[in-house]
A and B are shown apart, each in its own frame.
Chain A
């Protein structure tokens, strides 16, 4: 299998070094950049598979890079994991809405970072293979889009159209955090009238109906929701 290439944009040399050391150990090709300009240059020149992006950068900041990446169609497929300090939830939400795939908060453990990198890379591959997701099976949960039905341990449960769409959307991308805005826009569709707060109500209702499996929908405080990545 082709080795995957990861770019680490981080202004603190020691942190950059330790991240790169760990990625190399996992057999990834790595590149390092200490500021936004250099990062952008390397992205264009090397087209990495994934970018580990510090949001607080001197010069061009992380969110700008995120925006530029997702605006450029040729670079849109590059996965992004934001590396931020806690207390920057607003930036995290913004980054996710701009198209970042995941985020890690400082101080992080290298092991966790590596597993996030793996998950994101796996996901972006999986999405390309199975984009329809007609039948999603997660633990004892079966979501069938063609029949518009949800089975919990074989027993059917009733969900409203909106609830079904939210559940299916989250289950289709396990491990990935979605902000409330993203859920409204992507899962429910812009035409229907659901305002931010309503998402919480819907999620609560879905969880209740999943009963035993309600742990599968995780709340990410001050950011949004995520379907538990069970590593399937």
Chain B
């Protein structure tokens, strides 16, 4: 409290005010009193000098007698003044207090000089002879215009000086007492004024530092009271505002964090000010460790840095793509960057949204590949057919054997064309149905048997034996009959195609605990394991030329896999070159 500078300032100015006013008033009073007394003395000296003038004139013109000197001495004592008679040369002739014989020449005394020139002289000075302040008044004495001498009266001012100094000490004492009282009182007042302010200061300071929990005492009705009410209201408003802001911020944060799209915000010097979880995942960094770091240091991706700096530079939205390859996986990201402006339309940074489109991209690529492959597959037989037909039309003299061979080839090509179309249509139907199969409870043994029977004839023709092995008890399973018979016929078609005469093909059916297995095995040429992961892909053929001769498009196994998967099952292959192949379709039972 006593450290309050405000208090001391208030008090110091108050004290100075009191001191100055007492000094001024006291000084004025004392001065006025002194002047008044001196004036009074002067007046009495004047009347005395008029009385004394005649005595002095007589003395100057008449003979100097002891009686007159005595008379002057007694008169002086009676009047309480000092009377002096001085001749025209300044020689003291008589004095009521001192012996003229030992006195100086008075011609140069200020009152004498003034009396000679102005007919009247007055002077106040310290007399070392008498040891006190004196007032002197002198007038010239003339007869018939000739200067005879001077009459001087003087009086000691000691009594007045004493009175003044007494008065001064009274005034000083009074002033001192008044000062003490006034200062004490002042201190009290100053304290009363400064206390609320010194109380407010720490509260206001903590508000400034961001702590809005403290409140000022109120209850006063003056300006200070109003001020503390205002401050309290300000604190409340600020608390509210801060709360809404932080609530909004949290909401925003939560939204950003739960977004699938990555978001990176940078300031105008390309330092990261925000980065969400998804962005971290996409570019493979820990997102919360990146704040404040330069975007290049964090991402190490030229595309992101470029799009951000271009956005900041051009102050407009920019779109571009980004490919990130890590551990063999390619992530394709679409980037949308836009500049960020503050309320004053001043550019403060940029934000980029990263949209992982790898999946869409993949699907798109698969679709494109499929279209390209399919059209290529279709174009090949069409080209052959068109070429042969037009050649036959143009060349009327074509030899018969060429004609016959062309016709046979055209038939084969058209059969191939129709197989491809059928396969593609089957595929389209299967895929567009989206796994929507028409499942009915079916005796699998009967179904497989029926699907295999068309192959018996061609197997026999080729000299390949076809054997079936079914368990005694019938196996019932809800399946799409058409689809499952397609599986069997595709696998049998492959087996027969790749098994030379004298070989063997089995069709087996096994019911396990939780699954049913349809197994089709052959003793044919087999498949090198390097091809195993790929033979189930669309249009994949181990030996393209050979497969084409056999009229294959590479869709058969893909269709098998597709059907197996849509029944909740799998298809596997087990094969070595020269050792035949085993394909197993495993379907879950109920």
Contact = CB atoms under 8 A, between A and B. Distances in A.
30 contacts: A11-B544, A11-B545, A12-B380, A12-B383, A12-B384, A14-B384, A14-B388, A14-B409, A15-B380, A15-B383, A17-B409, A18-B384, A18-B387, A18-B391, A21-B402, A22-B387, A22-B391, A58-B544, A86-B379, A87-B375, A106-B380, A106-B382, A107-B379, A107-B383, A108-B383, A108-B386, A109-B387, A109-B390, A110-B387, A111-B394
B168 to A, nearest CB: 106
A86 B374 CA distance: 12
Contacts of B413: 14
B380 A111 contact: no
B387 A15 contact: yes
B429 interface: no
Interface of B, secondary structure class, is helix
A38 to B, nearest CB: 12
Given A11-B544, A111-B394, A85 B384 contact: no
Nearest to A113: B387
Contacts of B387: 14-15, 18-19, 22, 107-110
A137 interface: no
Nearest to B380: A12
Contacts of B372: 87
Contacts of B409: 14, 17
Given A11-B544, A58-B544, A107 B382 contact: yes
Contacts of A11: 544-545
A110 B394 contact: yes
Interface residues of B, number: 23
Given A18-B387, A22-B391, A85-B376, 12 more contacts: A11-B544, A11-B545, A12-B384, A14-B388, A18-B406, A22-B387, A25-B395, A106-B380, A106-B383, A107-B379, A108-B383, A111-B394
A122 to B, nearest CB: 21
Interface residues of A, number: 22
Interface string B385-402: 011101100110000001
A17 B372 CA distance: 25
B456 interface: no
Nearest to B410: A14
Nearest to A107: B383
A6 to B, nearest CB: 16
Interface in B214-240: none
A14 B545 CA distance: 12
B548 interface: yes
A110 B391 contact: yes
Contacts of B383: 12, 15, 106-108
B406 to A, nearest CB: 8
Contact of A12 (B375, B386, B548): B548
